[in-house]
Amino acid sequence: MSAGQPPLDSPETRRLTPVLGPGHTFGSVTDKISSIVLTRPTSFGWYMGFLIAFGLTGLLTIAIAWLFTKGTGIWGINIPIGWGFAIVNFVWWIGIGHAGTLISAILFLLNQKWRTSINRFAEAMTLFAVACAGIFPLIHTGRPWMAFYMFPYPSTMGVWPQFRSPLIWDVFAVSTYGTVSLIFWFVGLIPDLATLRDHAVKKPAQIIYGMLSMGWRGSARHWHRYQSAYLLLAGLATPLVLSVHTVVSFDFAIAIVPGWHTTIFPPYFVAGAIYSGFAMVLTIAIPLRKAYGLEDFITMRHLDNMAKVMLATGLIVAYGYFFEMFLSLYSGNKFDVFLVEQRLHGPYAPFYYALILCNILLPQTLWSHTLRHNVAFLFFMSIVVNVGMWLERFVIVVISLTRDFVPSAWGRYWPTFWDWATFIGTIGMFVTLLFLFVRVLPAISIAEMRELVAETSEDKK
């Protein structure tokens, strides 16, 4: 190599090595990942997990069918609190999706090598989370069959959507986000699908992967264009991550409700999205590497880095909580001050304290190097943060609505069975899709892992 090559024990080399277990070649990486899809027998655990998740998806179907039959009144929402679980879960799922794009796009632009072995399933997680999120804006409307009115098309009524409503921006944000994520994910998959096509033994698999890989031959010209396209998509997806959750935060920040009308929402929602998203990536990565023996690819370094990102974004979120409260008190506005009182002493105060515990206090343990390297603990923390971020959305949506300007319009919101069934059903759908994904597509990018092998071995020469 040229004179610019770093020496053997350079920090660059040391930085790269732990991203991949020692002794891997192009062949071993390819075999390891493609065997999950092609040769390994489908395990009993996979069938059991899939069946349970699919059963919960059935619950979702029943919940939605009953909702369409009876109307949104089967939920716990009422007149002061028109937004309940549907919006809480929507924001939660959209937030979860954001880490996938962060890993695949932003870390790519920042040239972070450790993204390589987690980006594929993180992107899949994004897609499935967006699919779950996308259900809620549709079904939380009273007349979901009219939802197409939210798209700007030349209607027979001569009317168009109101482009000043953040709920219309949501339609554009989420549909664009879903589409770009899908394309980004698929473009990344093309070389890997070609690998699967070439490794498949059975004719149907060859044909299916062959069609999906669209004749990829891996020539220099292919790779040149592929990399330009990938870079461009990463550049496009990055502003999307920031804007999509900003738009979601506008749903609240645009309103005049105390506790919603806050200018800190856009960045603080985005930070929260990445926070919960990384928690979900950890929740998926830890069982995945265990079940399929991927410890060489998803190393402790990955888990450590993800925990660090969680800690960093968790601190931004903590800053958000602090300043939200500080500015409410500093404003001197009696409704804002009252909101603080409501959070601390109102009927939903336990939710707020649980939120502080899950999102601020417990994650501080991630400062410890030892705890960050304890896989079981990390898994526990990732669940804690997922719960905490769900509570955050519950606190924002529900507490602000239950007690606002007019005391005669104070109310309570408690979810019904159908609220829970819909929420748990979307979790089932998410897991179902993940199980299918792990079974039929490479969960780790083979082509990029090979690049990683090349880079690490070149450094060692």
Interface residues toward other proteins, by CB under 8 A: 153-159, 197, 203, 206-207, 210, 214-215
Choose between 145 and 153: whose C-beta lies nearer to other proteins: 153
Smallest gap from Cβ 164 to other proteins, in A, equals 16
CB atoms closer than 10 angstroms to residue 237: 25
Smallest gap from Cβ 189 to other proteins, in A, equals 18
Tokens found for residue 16: 């790269």
Smallest gap from Cβ 210 to other proteins, in A, equals 5
Q: How many residues comprise the chain? A: 461
Smallest gap from Cβ 207 to other proteins, in A, equals 6
Q: Does residue 199 contact residue 34 with C-beta atoms inside 8 Å?
A: yes
Query: Tokens 């319009």 label which residue?
Result: 409
Smallest gap from Cβ 444 to other proteins, in A, equals 25
Choose between 156 and 370: whose C-beta lies nearer to other proteins: 156
Please give the C-alpha separations between residue 160 and each of 152, 164, 461, in angstroms, as whole numbers.
6, 12, 64
Choose between 200 and 339: whose C-beta lies nearer to other proteins: 200
Strands, E assignment, 208-367? none
Choose between 159 and 256: whose C-beta lies nearer to other proteins: 159
Tokens found for residue 446: 């083979």
Q: Does residue 220 contact residue 77 with C-beta atoms inside 8 Å?
A: no
Smallest gap from Cβ 156 to other proteins, in A, equals 4
Between the two ends of the chain, the Cα-to-Cα distance in Å is: 9
d(CA 411, CA 82): 11
φ/ψ bin of 433: left (φ > 0), alpha (ψ from -120 to 50), beta (otherwise): alpha
Choose between 213 and 445: whose C-beta lies nearer to other proteins: 213
d(CA 160, CA 337): 39
One-character DSSP codes across 251-279: HHHTS-STTT--TTHHHHHHHHHHHHHHH
Choose between 199 and 393: whose C-beta lies nearer to other proteins: 199
Choose between 8 and 207: whose C-beta lies nearer to other proteins: 207
Smallest gap from Cβ 77 to other proteins, in A, equals 24
